[in-house]
Chain A
Amino acid sequence: MSDFMENAGVTTPSNGLASAKAVETMKELIPIARDRRARAIKVLEGPLDHFRVAVTTSMEIGRVRFALEGILIDARLREQNTTPETLQALVNQRTPVVAGVFEMHDGTHTLDWMLPQGVQQPIAPEPTSVKTQKIRQSLPRALRLAAASSLIGVVALFLALRIESAWNLPFLIVAALAMAALMLSLFQIAFSISALWESFSRRQTLQLMASVMTKYCGERTHGN
């Protein structure tokens, strides 16, 4: 790896915990041929060790790190609709779990789903199809808001410039509010398109992970 990569934050993990032993005991290792983020899917089993919760500006994100079979795994628990307290309870009780993780190109590992022993429902993110459906439902609303606010903004600005008395002030305020609404809706549209592209461009990897989850957790646990 180039020194640039190492110095630019795109580094191989330096935890030293991932070992040959971990590979031997791993339940499954599926290499991914073409994905811009992940290079493999791993299924690991065992109790969670060395559980830590990162301090962030918004603690709701639930940025956590733990070791499983000697491999350090990162997770943002809000995506899995769970909390650090839930995982802390698993750590305290030494409950064995089966977990599906992505091995990223930079060598780090990211949690996708986890099934604690004796639990029917896995800790998993929303199925891609549900996420996509939600975005598709919200996108027309954002587009309508963008169109309406831009129209109102342009008309209000036009009137404000045409009227030469103090009455142009209310129109200027309306134009400013419309522009603010336009900016917000444009941000929403950009995020929606980005999320849709993410789902589309990584669909094979996400489907593969969903099938792996089905294999370990059962048919009814996801909807991909």
Chain B
Amino acid sequence: MATERPDIQRVEGRLKKLAAKSLYKRGNAYSFDVDGQSMWFLTREPSWHPSSPFLAEGDRVELAVLNTPLTPTGERWVYALRNLEDDTVYVTHFAWQRTCEPYAATRIPPASEHRYILALSALLITLLVMGACIVALTGTDSASWFFLSGLCIGAWLLGTVPLYVMRWRWKAGRPTHRQRVTEAVYRCLGLGSPLAPNRPVRSV
């Protein structure tokens, strides 16, 4: 059964009562009011980091927001923000990493799979090298190292194959539910396709 797509609303206005908060392991959040509605905008990087969104009080913005308040106090979740002051566009992905709700967009930015695969490969290679060193120093049976290698290859395949299959599906026109949500967000702000946006987009 197809999951219902979330109601994504386009909101325009000026940022009021803007505040940045650190959520520690859950990233960072900007809270603000636009057009009389309270919003939450979650990002990975701390607000003082050069790659985090540059938001100032009173900035004119366009937002793609989930048209359902998710908190008891009625704040709405921001999918994407275009700052009209400097025409930069930010799309959230980090915010959806720990949720499986039907309104969640993709956990990682479109076409960024190889970044995660490189990190996983580096981690597993380090693990294998450390294992080889321990085997060489302690003189233990090399069978355990081969077992570790098998585990690492298994982990690599488990990490890599789903990422590339999902990317291939998206490119082939058969997106997953999360990918369809991301497409809807891009469409809401007129950014074109997530795989080939018509303007630079910053993933946060």
A residues less than 8 Å from B203 (CB atoms) = 7-9
**Which of the segments B68-76, B97-105, B128-136, B192-200 contacts the partner chain?**
B192-200
**Quick check: B204 and A9 within 8 Å, CB to CB?**
yes
**Quick check: B111 and A11 within 8 Å, CB to CB?**
no
B residues less than 8 Å from A2 (CB atoms) = 111
Taken residue by residue from 69 to 87, chain B's Cβ proximity to chain A (1 for < 8 Å, 0 otherwise) reads as 0000000000000000111
**Residue from the list B54, B85, B114 in contact with A4, Cβ < 8 A:** B114
How many B residues, CB 8 Å from partner? 38
**Quick check: B56 and A52 within 8 Å, CB to CB?**
yes
Interface set, chain A 3-33, CB cutoff 8 A to B? 3-4, 6-9, 11-17
**Which of the segments B2-10, B44-52, B149-157, B173-181 contacts the partner chain?**
B44-52
B residues less than 8 Å from A12 (CB atoms) = 200
**Which of the segments A54-62, A132-140, A194-202 contacts the partner chain?**
A54-62
**Which of the segments B16-24, B119-127, B158-166 contacts the partner chain?**
B16-24
Nearest opposing residue in chain B for A58, CB measure: B48
**Quick check: B110 and A3 within 8 Å, CB to CB?**
yes
Taken residue by residue from 36 to 58, chain B's Cβ proximity to chain A (1 for < 8 Å, 0 otherwise) reads as 00000000001110110011110
A121 to chain B: closest CB distance in Å?
A: 26
**Quick check: A14 and B200 within 8 Å, CB to CB?**
yes
A222 in contact (CB, < 8 A): no
A42 in contact (CB, < 8 A): no
A residues less than 8 Å from B88 (CB atoms) = 13-15
Known contacts: A7-B111, A8-B112. The answer to whether A50 contacts B19 by CB under 8 A is no
B89 to chain A: closest CB distance in Å?
A: 7
How many A residues, CB 8 Å from partner? 28
A35 in contact (CB, < 8 A): no
Nearest opposing residue in chain B for A78, CB measure: B48
B30 in contact (CB, < 8 A): yes
Task: Indicate the member of A17, A53, A63 with the most B CB atoms within 10 Å.
Answer: A63
- Pull 18 A–B residue pairs with CB atoms less than 8 Å apart, ordered by A: A6-B200, A7-B110, A7-B111, A8-B109, A9-B51, A11-B200, A11-B201, A12-B200, A13-B200, A14-B86, A14-B200, A52-B59, A53-B56, A55-B57, A56-B46, A61-B48, A65-B86, A76-B48
Residues on A lying within 8 angstroms of B by beta carbon are: 2-4, 6-9, 11-17, 50, 52-58, 61, 63, 65, 72, 74, 76
Which 4 A-B pairs rank lowest in CB-CB distance, beginning with the nearest? Answer: A11-B200, A52-B56, A56-B47, A7-B109
